[in-house]
Structure formats: C-alpha cells, structure tokens
Chain A
C-alpha cells in the first residue's frame, strides 16, 4: 500500500458545482497535513494546511479524519480557475525525509 494515496481523477465537474476528494495515508503517526495546488506545468503552491478541527478558507474546506486516516478537500461553487491538480502532503515527523507527497488528483471545471 502506498504511504499516501489519492484518486488520480480526472474529476470533471461543471462550474458552480461542489466537488470533494480524499487522500488516505498509511502511517498512523502522521502529524501534519497540507493541500497543495499545482497548475499544469507549474510548481506546487500551498493551498491550505489541514488542522485537526478542520479549517475553511473561502470556498475551500479541509477536514482530517484520524480514525480512518484520511484528509479531504471540499470545493464549493467551483470556478474555471480551480482547474488544477491537488496534491496532499502528509508529514509524520520533524525530518524533511518524513514529508510524503501524494501523486495528486486532477480537477477539471467545465463551463
């Protein structure tokens, strides 16, 4: 089993729709979690951190479920500009070698 797994997609949804995708992780000692966004042929950029209590940033909501070992990202009222690949990142220690990137979920928003 991969340490961090994501559904590669693509998720193809109409503009204005709500879309959600998950990321599962295998190490129960994982401590910190992030979502990064990567546009086509560009570098990854931090979208948001994922806190134990969940957090919201505008149309984006991130949740952590430690019992089932997954994090989720919900995008409401999706925009064309949300089309990108979303990478989840899991960290289970204070060492840089303990940071694991998922392979990403591709999201495509259609007009």
Chain B
C-alpha cells in the first residue's frame, strides 16, 4: 500500500516549456487535489476532482490544467511554464466526506522555472 505517489520529485524547466505532473493513489479515494505551497502562503488549491472524469477549479487555477481519466490518477499540466509557477506541488486524496475526512498527501514535486 503506497498511499499517494507523485512523479517526478524534482524538475527544472525553462520559461515556456510544458510538463505534466502525475499523481497516483491506491486507497480507492473519490477526491483528489492539487495544491501548491509557497513560503508564507500555505497550501493553495489549484484544481480538484470529485471522481473519475470530473475536475473543478480551486483558488489558483490559472496556468494549469488537469485530467482524471482513471480514478487512481490525477494529472496536473503546465502548458507554458512561468517563473511564478516555481513552487512545491502536492497532490492529495480523500474520501467523499471531504468535510470530515483526512487528506493524504504525496511527497511533493519541487518545480523550478527559470
């Protein structure tokens, strides 16, 4: 039981490049989330998904796209990376009672955009 995994762990991009971050969970959770964490800002929700085939915008969705083609996977895409997207990205998952249930986080992806 791996929980929540993320790939890659670290990536350096040049401005304008694109990339996809992959999140996978093996807990059969309905909900999946993508957050970014910046110093002094706390975790901010980028996009989330309430089930396979669904996605919704969070607090800071601009510049990102997501897809949930399979229940266990949630992909975060950066179409044209900008230095402002330098951050640590965390994926999380939880059961459907989002107001009561624990969120389980992946180990994070550190992204540097030059």
A interface, CB within 8 angstroms of B = 4, 8, 31-32, 34, 41-46, 87, 91, 93-99, 101-104
Total CB contacts across the A-B interface at under 8 A = 58
Is A91's CB under 8 angstroms from B42's CB?
A: no
CA distance A42 to B57 in the complex (A): 25
Chain B residues whose CB sits within 8 angstroms of the CB of A95 once the complex forms: 98
Find the A residue at minimum CB distance from B41.
A103
Chain B residues whose CB sits within 8 angstroms of the CB of A8 once the complex forms: 40
Per a CB cutoff under 8 Å, which of A41, A97, A103 touches B56?
A: A97
Chain B residues whose CB sits within 8 angstroms of the CB of A41 once the complex forms: 108
Chain A residues whose CB sits within 8 angstroms of the CB of B90 once the complex forms: 43-44
Chain A residues whose CB sits within 8 angstroms of the CB of B102 once the complex forms: 34, 46
B103 near A: Cβ within 8 Å?
Answer: yes
Can you list 29 residue pairs at the A/B interface with Cβ under 8 Å? A8-B40, A32-B100, A34-B102, A41-B108, A42-B108, A43-B90, A43-B105, A43-B107, A43-B108, A44-B43, A46-B102, A46-B103, A91-B98, A91-B99, A93-B99, A94-B98, A94-B99, A96-B33, A96-B50, A96-B98, A97-B45, A97-B48, A97-B56, A97-B58, A99-B98, A101-B44, A103-B40, A103-B42, A104-B42
Query: In the assembled complex, how far is the CB of residue A59 from the closest CB belonging to chain B, in whole angstroms?
Result: 20
Is B107's CB under 8 angstroms from A42's CB?
A: yes
Query: In the assembled complex, how far is the CB of residue A6 from the closest CB belonging to chain B, in whole angstroms?
Result: 8
